[in-house]
Amino acid sequence: MTSISANELKIKGVSVLENILQNEDEAIISVRGKNKYVIIDLKRYDKIREYELDIALLEAKADIANDRVTKESVEAHMKRVID
């Protein structure tokens, strides 16, 4: 995984990211010598978000299957989360 400094990004602009992402899945941006950000293309980001949503759905289904849910009215729910 390629790492570039924030200063290099500032000087070279987005084109440096485009060049990296043509050959690699991600790039790391370091700030003051410490890795701070990861850049990925939008297609890969969308896929990661899809995986996250799939995992959340599986967790919700497991909660329902194992009766780890609260069944209540909207009013009771609002009172519980606000109070």
Q: pLDDT tens, 12-49? A: 999 999 999 999 999 999 999 999 999 999 999 999 99
Phi (first) and psi of residue 50, to 5 degrees: -60, -45
Tell me how far apart the alpha carbons of residues 18 and 83 are, in angstroms, rounded to a whole number.
49
Tell me how far apart the alpha carbons of residues 53 and 45 are, in angstroms, rounded to a whole number.
12
Entry field: residues in the chain = 83
In this predicted structure, what is the pLDDT of residue 83?
A: 83
Look up residue 43 and give its two tokens.
């297609």
